[in-house]
Structure 1
């Protein structure tokens, strides 16, 4: 059933009620708000005293958490012009995120990539490629924790964790907001949000609802690439009693992309810095009827109960259902003299996923040996089931890059409509966790935590049963992870911290290996300066990941779990109000990442060592800078810059993709208290750059210069 007509009706009902009734006063309750929403009128900055979000279940602030924590709240998202949650993530120190097809949401951070960076939604760790960038409108904030964080997020997270937090109904006064924008390549956005009280003041039970809807369309900067996407978030917060509340949250995402862009082939010879033919930078070598589609439905039931002044509990029951369909011709390479492009890899696949789970958390404040302490503990149970139905044929064809007919997918020999299931992977996870903060003195505190996971993998083969591919296969892993940290508040506005944390990651595929492990040492400081006009964070770390699968030097067809890689680096972020009108913000990250023990089979079938090499798509430096100037109460303008260092496109480190710097600017005018018009230019210099390097090899080009005009209203 198409949910959009139902949602439209719901929008209408809420909107009519919003304007038909008078504004109600907020009702005081004892419960804390469900989330900390970004305040569009808040003072910009690092906001070190805001909640650290998923970095700890103890309700600590960013300042008090002995870990590298960065947050892009709602105000930051809007001020920096983030179009989706990946744009918001890229504003955080050291993050380099992109969305090449076939990789879901790709993130490089602290020298690690892919599954070593956990991407969560509302504190829920989901498997599969669900991290494709979704329009930022429905999101309240993006949270980042640096380094191993399996204590909070479960298996994975050796490089760090990102958490995308959706807007939820709040007890704020009635609010109505909307945004309409139009930009280059016919890019449009139509969005609105509504938060209101559903009950009258004095009722025994108070109810609040929020609805956010966003619709995006665009023709794309690559030929024939068209996109249409809906994002919807609806929630109802019910104060059932002074100490008991329930939130029902529903999300729906629907994305369609015609002729998805799968990269731009690089010119021969392929050696050193890779180059492309810039005259053909907008060519789309995919078939005419290439397709990417995704439909995702989330349902969450959240109970918050304050047992007494020192004890609270939260229980989150959730269901996720998703389906992703790909139908594309995906690989493109120039022939020897660069006169033609050879196309191959016709791939059609359906990923059907379902995840059900429950998270229970209990938090308690008391005293231990006369010292103030906070405890948090709980358990999690989830079952993630994914069925893949792939069809992969060679699909070879050659076209003239200056003039060609893209053709159609089902004209390729060996292709056919329909899906035949390959296998179903079911991963069941049971976890128990505990965390504690102990105030050793009024300046020194100790944070500790442990987590035990029991992970069961059950694979069902839907194809022909053979000795190497049985009907059923089972695996089990039981990792134990944790964190230990000290924070010393040597000034009221400044501290230093040190922490040790660990992570565990289950092996890929069905390999009968133990979990790979990760550990990190980190030292840092968080402080305000210049009488509070500035705030800053600095962190230095070293991470080791070991016991992951590499090619067996004695048997190129086999793998052995002896791999090891390390990274070390420094991250710095700061926000400074230079004058009453001029705000300077920025962050920079430097990382040195390498393989210590890594072997793979090269194109000639020979097993070679990559010891000392840097992993692919890992930039050594990433930096962001923003300058914002308030000309007067109505006019505001700004300038921004982003730098990403060059990366290697292969594990042999013989192929590189050049560094790039992107510049942008904006100018906004506040027509009245409710309405603001903003003009924004991205990639001012029209830089040609690769967001990601395919192993084909090929560039995945970033967006060229674009102009956008947006009108945003709040009532």
Structure 2
């Protein structure tokens, strides 16, 4: 049940504070309107993730949400995934192996595109959440976005956008924080004009962050360094170039692969809370990744109404796993059987180029803007797997020696190639916005993708070569009753190759399966109210996805055709400046996601899953933030996040309970350059799971109560 009671207490505190402020003389209110910004909705900022036409959220016929830098700092986002969870309907987590897991609008995995600066790596493990310092904002587009980002993305697209060199001003900023479990962050950012005067002008930006933690699970230590450098060069008044380089190194010792659920495993799944911080991985388990990004962006203003942009991009990622991953209780729950030794390396490289031309003009005497483009990418990955599924040992959860990787027989074999994939995608796209009347705008888009996929399974020598051609699009209307109140409707489509992410697909996962298609109908409204003190958005949608495939529940590394899934839902978001000192912001999402056609084979028996819900999809999520300027320089905040229960199997016979997390924060602005802050997360020390592994039924615990102190400065 949705925990309205506790949320109501927080909302009532808003009302009380409002009532108190209303009794004060006006001279006592010294805070400015800007002092409580940060979680406020901004509908007029252009958002690249929703269109190539530089449309704002208000102008776009779709649900668009943004967590910008100010919001990330206000909510204490430590990773881009924290920022994503602040957006309506998003439920993101980082289970091992899956990297960045996101559910949204009833879909998950590869059905949600996770992009970096508009580039889709087509592999979920590449979206592992890392420090938020180098990111400028996280943008979310709801529903099918194949017309914009290529194949996939039936549920929506998340775009993580990094900071770039700016012409605005020279600045130096930094942050140092320390929290429970020896969690530390040290970060610095510098933006600097390199020259002045006549001729070309150059601006540089450097950001670096270092994070480390002992982890709230035993023996799980993590450290990561993240570097971003960019150089902006204005060659002349019309031509500019940006070179952006990013590098990440991350290492995690004895990664946490989940907590086993108690037997019998039926109904609501439970864990032994006494041993919930146990780490059943071996002592020297390991996860490491090294990634490099390079982007070369050229902008040329051909004329006042015509602009050309070319983006060349290169990505290289290497990820290593070496872990004991599967844990199950014995029948009487007295011991934990450990199995699933797995060693893996991923070598991934992506190269591509995107050419875009935008034009402002007229069509039949009506104002009409166009965007045209060509896109080519080559995504290659080779994995080096070695696994032993047999049990390794049985340990007493009340006390055990974790052992070492070298104790597992057969796992010292030389590294050898398992599977290599090559995905070449060639695309052409066009987008248009025509102002039919002063109040009514028509937005349309069309995209063609040619996908050339090759896979080689080195052990058997088997090869597969497949080709797919897809056409997707969007048609939408936006009607502005006033400059601050609009309604919209849209129809959009998606196309996705079988197997989801082709980058890691096997022959068995692709085979002769057809393209998966999706379509969405959405209506909504975006408006300001009470003379701009409040802003709100509302959306209702239905998405139908056909010819979808899901992992087999009985045969590893194979795919079953699920037929059709329908997701129907609503999303609401609002921010309200209750008083000049008090800001309330909230969002709520509800979705009914179920299979319309899905026959699943279990133990040789076929079961219909019609009407059942997909795994790990909450039907409700909600966020609430209250921010109050207590005194000059002092600000306090409270927040709450609710996530509904999720099913752990496609038969919907097992589930995880819902949870609500509360937090408190306080900041003190010592002067214009220096800020101190304290943040208490999971105030009630809720024991909750943010993900359940479907085949192993392992419960991935969320973070317990923790306190973080930070110092941040800017000059």
Same fold, judged at TM 0.5 (above): yes
Task: State whether structure 2 residue 118 is matched by structure 1 residue 123.
Answer: yes
Structure 1 contact 536–573 (Cα < 8 Å) conserved:
yes
Structure 2 equivalent of residue 138 of structure 1: 134
Distance 1:456 1:226 in 2: 41
Structure 1 equivalent of residue 526 of structure 2: 526
Distance 1:560 1:261 in 2: 29
Structure 2 equivalent of residue 19 of structure 1: none
Greater RCO structure (CA 8 Å; 6+ sep): 2
Distance 1:453 1:558 in 2: 26
Match of 1:487 among 478, 484, 505: 478
Structure 2 equivalent of residue 618 of structure 1: 617
Match of 2:328 among 313, 330, 333: 333
Following superposition, the deviation at residue 340 of structure 1 comes to 0.3
Distance 2:35 2:115 in 1: 24
Task: State whether structure 2 residue 608 is matched by structure 1 residue 609.
Answer: yes
Following superposition, the deviation at residue 48 of structure 1 comes to 0.3
Following superposition, the deviation at residue 601 of structure 1 comes to 2.5
Structure 1 contact 156–506 (Cα < 8 Å) conserved:
yes
- Change beyond 3 A, Cα 1:617–1:476: same
Structure 2 equivalent of residue 653 of structure 1: 652
Match of 2:74 among 75, 79, 87: 79
Structure 2 equivalent of residue 33 of structure 1: none
**Helix, strand or coil: the match of 1:86?**
helix
**Helix, strand or coil: the match of 1:614?**
coil
Structure 2 equivalent of residue 423 of structure 1: 419
Distance 1:631 1:330 in 2: 48
Structure 2 equivalent of residue 27 of structure 1: none
Task: State whether structure 2 residue 313 is matched by structure 1 residue 318.
Answer: yes
Name the stretch that deviates more: 405-414 or 340-349: 405-414
Distance 2:178 2:457 in 1: 48
- Change beyond 3 A, Cα 1:417–1:206: farther
Following superposition, the deviation at residue 458 of structure 1 comes to 1.0
Match of 1:56 among 51, 72, 75: 51
Following superposition, the deviation at residue 413 of structure 1 comes to 1.6
Structure 2 equivalent of residue 5 of structure 1: none
Match of 2:175 among 166, 175, 179: 179
Structure 2 equivalent of residue 235 of structure 1: 230
Structure 2 equivalent of residue 392 of structure 1: 387
Structure 2 contact 36–582 (Cα < 8 Å) conserved:
no
Name the stretch that deviates more: 703-712 or 410-419: 410-419
Following superposition, the deviation at residue 559 of structure 1 comes to 6.0
Following superposition, the deviation at residue 461 of structure 1 comes to 2.9
Structure 1 equivalent of residue 101 of structure 2: 106
Structure 1 equivalent of residue 156 of structure 2: 160
Distance 1:561 1:187 in 2: 44
Structure 1 equivalent of residue 548 of structure 2: 548
Distance 1:558 1:632 in 2: 60
Instruction: Give the count of matched residue pairs.
Output: 669
Distance 1:705 1:453 in 2: 47
Structure 1 equivalent of residue 26 of structure 2: none
**Helix, strand or coil: the match of 1:479?**
strand
Match of 2:194 among 183, 195, 198: 198
Cα RMSD of the aligned pairs, angstroms, is 1.7
Structure 1 equivalent of residue 5 of structure 2: none
Structure 1 equivalent of residue 465 of structure 2: 474
Q: Flag structure 1 segments of 5+ consecutive residues without an equivalent.
A: 1-38
Following superposition, the deviation at residue 464 of structure 1 comes to 3.2
Q: Deviations over 1:141-192 (max 9, x none)?
A: 0000001000111110000000000000010111000000000000000000
Name the stretch that deviates more: 306-315 or 389-398: 389-398
TM-score normalized by structure 1?
0.92
Distance 2:657 2:551 in 1: 29
Distance 2:223 2:559 in 1: 42
Task: State whether structure 2 residue 345 is matched by structure 1 residue 350.
Answer: yes
Distance 1:584 1:224 in 2: 39
Q: Deviations over 1:300-323 (max 9, x none)?
A: 000011111101111100110000
Following superposition, the deviation at residue 463 of structure 1 comes to 1.8
Q: Flag structure 2 segments of 5+ consecutive residues without an equivalent.
A: 1-33, 500-504
- Change beyond 3 A, Cα 1:210–1:615: same
**Helix, strand or coil: the match of 1:287?**
coil
Distance 1:558 1:105 in 2: 22
Distance 2:277 2:160 in 1: 31
Structure 1 equivalent of residue 368 of structure 2: 373
Structure 2 contact 211–225 (Cα < 8 Å) conserved:
yes
